[in-house]
């Protein structure tokens, strides 16, 4: 694609990156077929190619309207288009640049601005989030059914083994997961303990930064990333083998710290090392497959029928496919096939709150496919997908590590 970026952006690091990405797009349109918003809305401006055109237009003219912002807001950042694109267009990096610049030029309504601010204030703060969640649970009997369905059931924390092995890995506790589903990291710690690896959390680590960054509060997001690097660094120097992610949404972000902080001279090298050390939990267990086989004995058949929902951040963001399904199968579960498994469930970080109508349509479509063969349980790998899907079904939705931990 030919480009002629405007003066305001041309020679900046963002301009150079945007130009490189724009030029790699050959307009073929293959990406339209796998874009969830294009499938639902049928408007090319709600497709990857359409959004690329809109961003090109803006970066070349410097002029932008609410309409452009709306079409960019409607993108799920699912990155299905990146998986499909034969030219390797790094769409999500271009979207980050476009959204962040446009946020500064197009004012949002006071209500929309307040909603986005509130999300940035509440979600990355585990203490505040868990207090509000506890209030919601206390008020549950008085809530209308529509709100009740959005409030996840209370989950009590289960026991975690003490760190006792020479082999140790860091784990990110994250922001909302400790309050919503504390059993996920406890289950991961128990299973890894069985194969001789201790999972430890760094005290001062917290939100991965994705919430703020993707709500276009870029500097705030980068500060969360720097805070995590500072919290992990002494452990990395002390020999932590990996930084384990139990939520694929956090994992895809931390794996890209090196990219996000590439222009920060104080953090660029550390960020790159943190990204290189970061592993999804499924990658850790795959690498320890021999140990798993020797020390971990699955229960005999018959086992539960499981439908696995692969989060976009796992399959498109981190390009990890088939690993969780293989681990569940080895443990004896019957993993059933799911149609349209490449499509987003509509959760997408804060998308389910900011774009509820599209999000609900995608959730219903996804649940239809997941439940088509009557699974006893739906498994997934990201807390956002888990709570979003659970709000639309009575079938239990769980993190896959909880299923493995119970065998
Ligand atoms: S598939 Fe890739 S090259 Fe083709 S239009 Fe979409 S982004 Fe551009
Ligand atoms: S990231 Fe997802 S929603 Fe956004 S343009 Fe690509 S495929 Fe469509």
The whole-number pLDDT of residue 300 equals 62
The whole-number pLDDT of residue 301 equals 64
- Could you tell me if the CB of 78 is within 6 A of ligand 2? yes
Q: Which helix (H) or strand (E) holds 85?
A: none
The whole-number pLDDT of residue 139 equals 81
Degrees, nearest 5: CA angle 96-100-104: 170
The whole-number pLDDT of residue 298 equals 59
Q: Which helix (H) or strand (E) holds 202?
A: none
Q: Which residue among 26, 75, 84, 98 is best mutated to probe the pocket of ligand 1, counting the most ligand atoms within 8 A of its Cβ?
A: 26
The whole-number pLDDT of residue 149 equals 73
265's CB contacts (< 8 A; 6+ apart) are none
pTM of the model: 0.94
Q: Which CATH architecture has domain 298-406?
A: 3-Layer(aba) Sandwich (3.40)
Closest ligand to the CA of 313: 2
Phi, psi of 336 (to 5 degrees): -90, 150
The whole-number pLDDT of residue 174 equals 86
Calculate how far, in angstroms, residue 223's C-alpha sits from the geometric centre of ligand 2. Answer: 27
- Could you tell me if the CB of 215 is within 6 A of ligand 2? no
Q: Where in the chain is the domain with CATH 3.40.50?
A: 298-406
- Could you tell me if the CB of 37 is within 6 A of ligand 2? yes
CA torsion sign, 87 to 88 to 91 to 94?
A: negative
Relative to the CA of 87, which ligand 1 atom is closest? 3
Token pair in block for residue 224: 């969360």
Q: Which residue among 32, 78, 311 is best mutated to probe the pocket of ligand 2, counting the most ligand atoms within 8 A of its Cβ?
A: 78
Rama region for 400: left / alpha / beta (φ>0; ψ in -120 to 50; rest): alpha
Nearest to 94 by CA among 108, 115, 75, 67: 75
Calculate how far, in angstroms, residue 344's C-alpha sits from the geometric centre of ligand 1. Answer: 19
Q: Which residue among 75, 343, 347 is best mutated to probe the pocket of ligand 2, counting the most ligand atoms within 8 A of its Cβ?
A: 75
Please give the Cα distance from 305 to 235 (Å, whole number). Answer: 39
Relative to the CA of 312, which ligand 2 atom is closest? 2
Closest ligand to the CA of 36: 2
Nearest to 267 by CA among 226, 227, 207, 213: 226
**Residue 273, CA distances (Å) to 49, 171, 257 in order:** 34, 16, 9
Degrees, nearest 5: CA angle 347-81-1: 140
Residue 315 carries which DSSP code? Answer: I
Identify any residues that bridge with 378 across adjacent strands, giving them in sequence order: 307, 397
Phi, psi of 180 (to 5 degrees): -80, -40
Q: What is the pLDDT along the chain (407 residues), one digit of tens a residue?
A: 788 999 999 999 999 999 999 999 999 999 999 999 999 999 999 999 999 999 999 999 999 999 999 999 999 999 999 999 999 999 999 999 999 999 999 999 999 999 999 999 999 998 898 889 888 888 887 777 767 777 778 887 789 999 999 999 999 998 889 889 999 999 999 999 999 999 999 999 999 999 999 999 999 999 999 999 999 999 999 999 999 999 999 999 999 999 999 999 999 999 999 999 999 999 999 998 887 777 656 556 667 899 999 999 999 999 999 999 999 998 889 999 999 999 999 999 999 999 999 999 999 999 999 999 999 999 999 999 999 999 999 999 999 999 999 88
CA quadruple 190, 192, 197, 202: dihedral, nearest 10:
-70
Q: Which residues contact ligand 1 via a Cβ below 6 A?
A: 25-31, 48-49, 81, 84-85, 87, 89, 91
Q: Which protein residue has the closest C-alpha to ligand 2 atom 5?
A: 48
Question: Using CB atoms within 10 A of its CB, is residue 111 exposed (0-12), middle (13-18) or buried (19+)?
Answer: exposed
- Could you tell me if the CB of 51 is within 6 A of ligand 2? yes
383's CB contacts (< 8 A; 6+ apart) are 174, 176, 177, 180, 181, 184, 247, 249, 399
Relative to the CA of 48, which ligand 2 atom is closest? 5
Q: Where in the chain is the domain with CATH 1.10.1060.10?
A: 13-104
Q: Which residue among 91, 93, 99, 313 is best mutated to probe the pocket of ligand 2, counting the most ligand atoms within 8 A of its Cβ?
A: 91
Closest ligand to the CA of 84: 1
Cis peptide before 406 (omega within 30 of 0): no
The whole-number pLDDT of residue 148 equals 73
333's CB contacts (< 8 A; 6+ apart) are 303, 304, 305, 306, 403
Please give the Cα distance from 251 to 314 (Å, whole number). Answer: 8
Calculate how far, in angstroms, residue 219's C-alpha sits from the geometric centre of ligand 2. Answer: 24
261's CB contacts (< 8 A; 6+ apart) are 222, 225, 226, 229, 267, 268, 271
The whole-number pLDDT of residue 310 equals 98
Token pair in block for residue 257: 């710290």
Calculate how far, in angstroms, residue 11's C-alpha sits from the geometric centre of ligand 2. Answer: 27
- 348 in Cβ contact with 359 (< 8 Å): yes
Return the half-sphere exposure (C-beta side, CA atoms, 13 A cut-off) of residue 355. Answer: 24
- 244 in Cβ contact with 170 (< 8 Å): yes
The whole-number pLDDT of residue 175 equals 87
Calculate how far, in angstroms, residue 233's C-alpha sits from the geometric centre of ligand 2. Answer: 34
Residue 298 carries which DSSP code? Answer: P
What class is the 13-104 domain? mainly alpha
Q: Which residue among 25, 29, 36 is best mutated to probe the pocket of ligand 2, counting the most ligand atoms within 8 A of its Cβ?
A: 36
Q: Which protein residue has the closest C-alpha to ligand 2 atom 7?
A: 35
- 201 in Cβ contact with 231 (< 8 Å): no
Relative to the CA of 34, which ligand 2 atom is closest? 7
- Could you tell me if the CB of 171 is within 6 A of ligand 2? no
Question: Using CB atoms within 10 A of its CB, is residue 106 exposed (0-12), middle (13-18) or buried (19+)?
Answer: middle
- H helices of 110-168, in order, are 110-122, 126-138, 145-148
CA torsion sign, 126 to 131 to 134 to 139?
A: negative
353's CB contacts (< 8 A; 6+ apart) are 115, 119
- 338 in Cβ contact with 379 (< 8 Å): no
């Amino acid at each position: 694609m030919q480009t002629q970026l405007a003066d305001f952006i041309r020679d900046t690091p963002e301009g150079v990156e945007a130009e490189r990405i724009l030029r790699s797009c050959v307009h073929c349109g293959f990406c339209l077929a796998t874009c969830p918003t294009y499938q639902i809305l049928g408007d090319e401006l709600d497709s990857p190619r359409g959004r690329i055109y809109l961003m090109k237009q803006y970066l070349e003219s410097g002029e932008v309207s609410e309409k452009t912002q709306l079409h960019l807001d409607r993108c799920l950042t699912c990155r299905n288009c990146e998986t499909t694109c034969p030219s390797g267009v790094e769409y999500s990096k271009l979207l980050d640049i476009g959204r962040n610049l446009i946020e500064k030029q197009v004012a949002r309504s006071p209500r929309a601005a307040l909603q986005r601010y509130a999300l940035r204030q509440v979600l990355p703060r585990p203490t505040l989030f868990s207090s509000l969640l506890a209030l919601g649970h206390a008020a549950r009997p008085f809530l209308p059914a529509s709100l009740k369905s959005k409030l996840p059931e209370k989950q009590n924390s289960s026991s975690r083994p003490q760190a006792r092995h020479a082999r140790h890995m860091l784990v990110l506790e994250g922001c909302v997961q400790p309050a919503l589903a504390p059993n996920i990291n406890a289950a991961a710690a128990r299973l890894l303990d069985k194969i001789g690896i201790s999972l430890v959390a760094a005290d001062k680590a917290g939100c991965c930064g994705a919430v703020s960054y993707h709500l276009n509060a870029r500097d705030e997001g980068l500060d969360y990333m720097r805070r995590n690097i500072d919290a992990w660094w002494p452990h990395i120097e002390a020999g932590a083998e990996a930084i384990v992610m139990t939520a694929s949404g956090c994992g895809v972000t931390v794996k890209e710290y090196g990219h996000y902080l590439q222009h920060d001279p104080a953090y660029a090298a550390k960020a790159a090392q943190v990204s290189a050390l970061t592993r999804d939990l499924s990658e850790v267990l795959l690498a320890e497959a021999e140990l798993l086989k020797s020390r971990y004995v699955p229960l005999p058949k018959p086992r539960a029928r499981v439908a696995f929902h692969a989060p976009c951040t796992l399959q498109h963001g981190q390009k990890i496919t088939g690993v969780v399904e293989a681990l569940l199968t080895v443990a004896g579960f019957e993993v059933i096939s799911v149609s349209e498994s490449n499509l987003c469930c509509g959760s997408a970080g804060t998308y389910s709150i900011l774009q509820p109508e599209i999000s609900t349509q995608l959730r219903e479509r996804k649940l239809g496919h997941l439940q088509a063969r009557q699974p006893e349980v739906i498994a997934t790998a990201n807390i956002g997908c888990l709570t979003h899907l659970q709000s639309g079904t009575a079938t239990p939705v769980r993190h896959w590590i909880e299923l493995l931990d119970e065998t």
